[in-house]
Structure 1
Amino acid sequence: MLEPLRQGLPPLDPSGVSSAASCSLPPRYEAVGSARQFTRKTLSSWELDDRFDDVALVVSELVTNALRHALPAHGAHAEVHCVVGEDAPVRLHMMRWSSRLVCAVRDPSDESPVTRAPEDAFDDFSAESGRGLFLVDSFSDGWGWHPLAGALSGKVVWALFQLA
């Protein structure tokens, strides 16, 4: 299941994954809260509670971007009661190595994430959007994206965290 996700990630040996978890997210903005709860539960089970604040912020931004920019028009506003399994348009994956944690969000869009220059991200302090990837870059140890290969369409946007 995670093989397409691993393609294009930072140079990490997939055989060294000590833990992995994933969840499907419905195309609604309320899914950001579900992603944060999943992150808290997963990090707690991996005894990484001390990393929750930074990781949850990054997960929130990645999921928000997927819901806002990667779904078809009005996708995150549609009335969808529940999306289960691989058919979900957005999925959150977390993988832990001994010294690294990768959080990745898969979405159906082939478009690359758009970043703003740091000076542009905070020019308008009243703006309600535009800072997401700047925050991802600031709170993670690295991030990137890649298109999915094979039968899956879309992309994966990932963030890497070094663990002590």
Structure 2
Amino acid sequence: MLEPLRQGLPPLDPAAVSNSASCALPARLEAVREARQFTRRTLDQWDVDERFDDVCLVVSELVTNALRHALPSPARCGSEQDAPVRLHLMRWTSRLVCAVRDPSHDGPVAGDSEDFSAESGRGLFLVDSFADSWGWHPLAGTLSGKVVWALFRLPTGSGSAE
């Protein structure tokens, strides 16, 4: 399931994944809070607290963008059980990747990051500021849509898995 997501990530050995977790998110804005809670629980289980604030902020922005810009109109979205957005967390010894999958084939578009008084449009600027790197790619095969990912370097010796 995660292989199509790894194809667009920076070079990392997929066999070296120490941990991975994912959760389906329904098409409602409350899902952003659910994503943050899932991230907190997962990072606590993995004993990776050092970058929680950065990771949580980026997860919030990626999920918000997916819910606001990548979903069809509510009338065509289907039931909440369809869960059109999915959050994946993957941890290597010294890196953590957050990936958000959504049904849109359109790439993310950064807003005007120079206008700091604007109420929206700064999400990808924040992702770029807090993650060590980020990107996106379209999915192929049986999965349709795209994945937007953010990579975080972890301090050496973080967590218990090697």
Is the TM value for this pair above 0.5?
yes
Residue deviations 1:129-155 (CA, integer Å, cap 9, x gap): 100000000000000000001011100
How many angstroms apart in 2 are the aligned matches of 1:124 and 1:51?
24
Letter of the 1:154 partner, please give it: G
Cross-structure match for 1:152? 143
Query: Secondary structure of the residue that 2:5 maps to in structure 1?
Result: helix
Matched residue, 1:39: 39
Aligned position for 1:123: 115
Question: How far apart are 1:124 and its partner, in Å?
Answer: 5.2
Q: Which residue in 2 is equivalent to 1:112?
A: 107
Instruction: Spell out the pairing of 1:49-88 with structure 2 (5 A cutoff).
Output: 49-74=49-74, 80=79, 82-83=80-81, 87-88=82-83
| Number of equivalent positions | 154
Name the amino acid aligned to 2:3: E
Code of the residue aligned with 1:151 in structure 2: it is T
Kindly provide the CA deviation profile for residues 66-98 of structure 1, in whole angstroms up to 9, marking residues without a partner as x. Answer: 0000001247xx794x42xxx420000000000
Q: Which residue of 2 aligns with 1:102?
A: 97
Give the corresponding residue for 1:143.
Answer: 134
Corresponding position of 1:20: 20
**In 2: Cα distance, 1:98 partner to 1:147 partner:** 27
SS of the equivalent of 1:71 reads coil
Q: TM-score, normalised by structure 1?
A: 0.89
SS of corresponding position for 1:150: coil
Partner secondary structure for residue 49 of structure 1: coil
User: Which letter maps to 1:123?
Assistant: D
Query: Distance between the aligned counterparts of 2:52 and 2:72, measured in 1?
Result: 31
Rounded to whole Å, the distance in 1 between the matches of 2:114 and 2:43 is 30
Inter-partner Cα distance in structure 2 for 1:26 and 1:74: 12
Identify the residue that residue 163 of structure 1 maps to in structure 2. 154
Equivalent AA in structure 2 for residue 114 of structure 1: V
**Partner amino acid, structure 2, of 1:97:** W
CA shift for structure 1 position 122: 3.6
Give the letter for the 2:147 counterpart.
V
- Divergent runs of 4+, >2 A: none
Q: Tell me the secondary structure at the aligned position of residue 29 of structure 2.
A: coil
Which amino acid is 1:45 matched to?
Answer: Q
Partner-residue secondary structure (3-state), 1:121: coil
Unaligned stretches of 5+ residues in structure 2:
156-162
